[in-house]
Amino acid sequence: MDKTVNQKAWLLVAPVFLIVAFSAVLPLMTVVNYSVQDTFGNNQFFWNGIGWFKELLDPSTDLGSRFFASLWRNLFFSAVILAIEIPLGIVVALSMPREGWRVAACLVILALPLLIPWNVVGTIWQVFGRPDIGLLGYTLNHLGVNYNYVSNEIDAWATIIVMDVWHWTSLVALLCYAGLKSIPDAYYQAAQIDGASRWAVFTAIQLPKMKRVLLIAGLLRFMDSFMIYTEPFVVTGGGPGNSTTFISIELVKIALGQFDLGKAAALSLVYNLIILITCWIFYTVMTNAGADHKARTGEA
């Protein structure tokens, strides 16, 4: 049966286009306009051409040094949390029960940190780590560890990394668990007949079957951690010094603290470009990993 082509349905999507235009496209166009100008407020703008971009990409200037420093800091943070959360998530997923009431209990416990808003997570850890009243800070200092995230860079980094691991490892674990659940029992039975070791089962069956969810988890966590703002802002405020100032925190400082709209706009565009590229890779990998999978298993 032939389908009639009717484009009128697009009219129903029109409100979405309007909302997106209002909330995203027009503001983004304004950012582009700001990025080539300088302002002293009062809607007075002066043409600056690509001046802000030149400054931004030149590490010898103030703007450039701050941009590159926060970029490397952010990439390092993402690398560290990925290196911890992915393996830890796999281990948690592997040690979760397969059936019975304990499955539900585990899922609820794992979902709990994911349901807490970012600023609340930040506040919890900010109080938790305080040497005077916080359980963690107080205990550590009484055990003889000189821990103070307000004045020590390493302590500040350790706190926000542990906080992120606490907040997001569940997501990786839940994704891995979903991947593990989709493996038919026949694979394990075959492995048992062959006398495969636990390690062989992991590398030959479980890991390949979890490849797709791990890819999704890795990219999701990378993007989230690359855009992180609230949690480190609440806990350390970017300090001590600038040691935990990530790109988004630097951006807010420049845009709202110093009110340098031109510099902030140039920085946001470059930041946006990095995220756009990551999103595109994410989208492409996800859609095509699915296509490969279907082609191999012969599904329509």
Partner 1 sequence: MENVAWMAWTAPTAVFFVLLAGTLALMTWLALAYPEAERVGILRIPTTRGDRLFVSLISAAVIHLVWIGTAGTDTIATIPVGEGIDVSSLWLATAISLVFGVAVFRTV
Q: Which residues bind partner 1 (CB under 8 A)?
A: 26, 29-30, 32-34, 36-37, 39, 43, 45, 47, 50, 53-54, 57-58, 270, 273, 276-277, 280, 284, 288, 291
Instruction: For residue 161, give the nearest of 149, 171, 172, 173 by alpha carbon.
Output: 149
Nearer to partner 1 among residue 38 and residue 153 (C-beta)? 38
**In this structure, what token pair is assigned to residue 49?**
């051409």
Nearer to partner 1 among residue 235 and residue 261 (C-beta)? 261
Q: Is the dihedral of CA 140, 146, 151, 156 positive or negative?
A: negative
Instruction: For residue 169, give the nearest of 286, 83, 297 by alpha carbon.
Output: 83
Q: Is the dihedral of CA 278, 57, 41, 232 positive or negative?
A: positive
Q: Please provide the DSSP assignment of 150-201 as one string.
A: TT-HHHHHHHHHHHHHHHHHHHHHHHHHHHHHTS-HHHHHHHHHTT--HHHH
Distance from C-alpha of 296 to C-alpha of 299, rounded to nearest angstrom: 8
Quote the least distance from Cβ 284 to partner 1, whole Å.
6
Nearer to partner 1 among residue 45 and residue 188 (C-beta)? 45
My answer on whether omega of the bond before 97 falls inside 30° of 0, hence cis, is: no
Quote the least distance from Cβ 179 to partner 1, whole Å.
23
Distance from C-alpha of 196 to C-alpha of 190, rounded to nearest angstrom: 9
Nearer to partner 1 among residue 54 and residue 253 (C-beta)? 54
Name the amino acid, one letter, at 26: L
CA 101 to chain centre: 32
Quote the least distance from Cβ 152 to partner 1, whole Å.
34
Nearer to partner 1 among residue 24 and residue 50 (C-beta)? 50
CA distances, 14 to each of 4, 128, 149, 153 (Å): 21, 48, 50, 50
Quote the least distance from Cβ 42 to partner 1, whole Å.
10
Nearer to partner 1 among residue 34 and residue 222 (C-beta)? 34
Nearer to partner 1 among residue 30 and residue 192 (C-beta)? 30
Instruction: For residue 161, give the nearest of 111, 228, 213, 250 by alpha carbon.
Output: 228
Q: Please provide the DSSP assignment of 70-83 as one string.
A: HHHHHHHHHHHHHH
Quote the least distance from Cβ 47 to partner 1, whole Å.
6
Quote the least distance from Cβ 109 to partner 1, whole Å.
39
Quote the least distance from Cβ 49 to partner 1, whole Å.
8
Quote the least distance from Cβ 228 to partner 1, whole Å.
23
Nearer to partner 1 among residue 47 and residue 199 (C-beta)? 47
